């Protein structure tokens, strides 16, 4: 069962990237672009329609809305755009981590933490 969940999660991640790249493609029709953009942004957004701390319902939107929105977006995309977007998503998955960006983000968070601590101690 755990292997099935991992495969499903990897497929979901790949489809989110595919829809994201397709939404940015100028060959994508406007309606498909809007649906793809909304699906990708909702999937990547930390803000949910139903907050995750609400028992059962909190994760229901993640388990239903995101896959359904992605499926709709994938259906609306032209086959050539979809093929190119899938190729870009596969290439991105080969080198997904930017260690430089991760270090910059960590340094910024550390700096903000130090500034907050200094403000708390000094104030």
Q: Average pLDDT of 99-122?
A: 85
Q: What's the Cα-to-Cα distance from 62 to each of 19, 42, 66, rounded to whole Å?
A: 17, 9, 6
27 in any annotated domain = yes
What's the pTM value of the predicted model, to 2 decimals? 0.66
The single residue listed with the structure tokens 């990237």 is: 17
pLDDT band at 88 (very low <50, low <70, confident <90, very high): very high
Q: Average pLDDT of 10-17?
A: 86
What per-residue confidence (pLDDT) applies to 34?
93
Domain span at 71: 2-96
What secondary structure does DSSP assign to 2-63, as a single string?
HHHHHHHHHHHHHHHHHHHHHHT-TTS-HHHHHHHHHHHHHHH-S--SS-TTSTTHHHHHHH
Is residue 77 within 8 A of residue 85, CB to CB? The reply is yes
How many independent structural domains does the chain possess? 1
Q: Which of 11-15, 55-59, 79-83 has the lowest mean pLDDT?
A: 55-59
120 in any annotated domain = no
pLDDT band at 77 (very low <50, low <70, confident <90, very high): very high
50 in any annotated domain = yes
pLDDT per residue as tens digits for the range 94-103: 776 667 777 8
111 in any annotated domain = no
């Amino acid at each position: 069962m755990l292997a099935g969940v991992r495969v499903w999660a990897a497929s979901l991640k790949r489809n989110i990237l595919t829809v994201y790249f397709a939404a940015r493609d100028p060959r994508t029709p406007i309606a498909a672009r809007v649906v793809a953009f909304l699906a990708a942004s909702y999937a990547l957004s930390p803000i949910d329609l139903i907050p995750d701390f609400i028992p059962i319902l909190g994760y229901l939107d993640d388990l239903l809305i995101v896959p359904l929105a992605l499926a709709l977006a994938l259906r609306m995309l032209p086959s050539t755009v979809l093929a190119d977007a899938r190729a870009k998503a596969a290439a991105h998955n080969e080198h997904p981590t930017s260690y430089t960006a991760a270090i910059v983000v960590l340094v910024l968070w550390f700096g903000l933490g130090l500034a907050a601590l200094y403000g708390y101690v000094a104030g």
